[in-house]
Amino acid sequence: MSGLGPLDEFPIHQLPQPIAWPANSDRNFYDRAYLNAHDRSGDIFLITGIGYYPNLGVKDAFVLIRRRAADGPDTQTAVHLSDAIDDARLDQHVGGYRLAVDEPLRTLHLTLEETEGVAVDLRWEGLFDPLLEQPHVMRQGTKVTLDAQRFAQVGTWRGFITIDGEQIAVDPTAWIGTRDRSWGIRPVGEPEPAGRPADPPFEGMWWLYVPMAFDDFQLVLIVQEDPSGFRTLNDCSRVWKDGRVEQLGWPRISVHYASGTRIPTGATISATASDGSAVTFEVESLLPVPIHVGGDPDWTHGVWRGEDFTERLTYDMTSPEVVGRIPFGVIDHVGRAVCREGDGTTRTGWGLFEHGALGRHDPSGFADWLTVAP
- Please report, for the domain that includes residue 167, its CATH number: 2.40.370
Residue 198, domain member (yes or no): no
Residue 94, domain member (yes or no): yes
What tens digit of pLDDT does each residue of 199-251 get?
778 899 999 999 999 999 999 999 999 999 999 999 999 999 999 999 999 99
Could you give the CA distance from residue 264 to residue 253 in angstroms, rounded to a whole number?
Answer: 13
Considering the domain architecture, whether residues 211 and 314 belong to the same structural domain is answered as no
Considering the domain architecture, whether residues 172 and 310 belong to the same structural domain is answered as yes
Torsion of CA 369, 372, 373, 374, to 10 degrees: -130
Residue 8, domain member (yes or no): yes
Mean of the per-residue pLDDT values of the chain? 91
The proportion of the chain whose per-residue pLDDT surpasses 70, expressed as a percent, equals 94
Q: pTM here?
A: 0.93
Considering the domain architecture, whether residues 222 and 157 belong to the same structural domain is answered as no
What tens digit of pLDDT does each residue of 289-343 get?
999 999 888 899 999 999 999 999 999 999 999 999 998 899 999 999 999 999 9
Sort 137 into a burial class: Cβ within 10 Å, 0-12 / 13-18 / 19+: middle
Considering the domain architecture, whether residues 178 and 279 belong to the same structural domain is answered as no
pLDDT (mean) for 127-156: 88
What pLDDT does 45 receive? 98
Of residues 16 and 148, more confidently modeled: 148
Show the domain range for 262: 203-290+329-374
What pLDDT does 9 receive? 66
- Lowest mean pLDDT, pick from 1-15, 82-96, 255-269, 356-370: 1-15
Residue 195, domain member (yes or no): no
Considering the domain architecture, whether residues 70 and 115 belong to the same structural domain is answered as yes
My answer on whether omega of the bond before 264 falls inside 30° of 0, hence cis, is no
Residue 16, domain member (yes or no): yes
Residue 197, domain member (yes or no): no
Sign of the alpha-carbon dihedral angle for 344, 347, 348, 352: negative
Considering the domain architecture, whether residues 240 and 302 belong to the same structural domain is answered as no
Residue 146 one-letter amino acid: L
Considering the domain architecture, whether residues 232 and 320 belong to the same structural domain is answered as no
Considering the domain architecture, whether residues 209 and 302 belong to the same structural domain is answered as no
Instruction: State the DSSP string of 146-161.
Output: EEEEEEEEEEEEEEEE
Query: H or E stretch including 90?
Result: none
What tens digit of pLDDT does each residue of 58-86 get?
999 999 999 998 787 899 999 999 999 99
Nearest to 210 by CA among 195, 225, 218, 220: 220
Considering the domain architecture, whether residues 106 and 5 belong to the same structural domain is answered as yes
Considering the domain architecture, whether residues 214 and 306 belong to the same structural domain is answered as no
Residue 160, domain member (yes or no): yes
pLDDT of residue 35 exceeding 60: yes
What CATH number is attached to the domain comprising 335? Answer: 2.40.370.10
Residue 235, domain member (yes or no): yes
Considering the domain architecture, whether residues 221 and 80 belong to the same structural domain is answered as no
Q: How many domains does the chain have?
A: 2
Could you give the CA distance from residue 184 to residue 135 in angstroms, rounded to a whole number?
Answer: 10
* CB neighbourhood size of 188 (10 A): 21
**How would you label 19-28 residue by residue, b for 16+ Cβ within 10 Å and e otherwise?**
eebbbbeebb
Considering the domain architecture, whether residues 127 and 271 belong to the same structural domain is answered as no
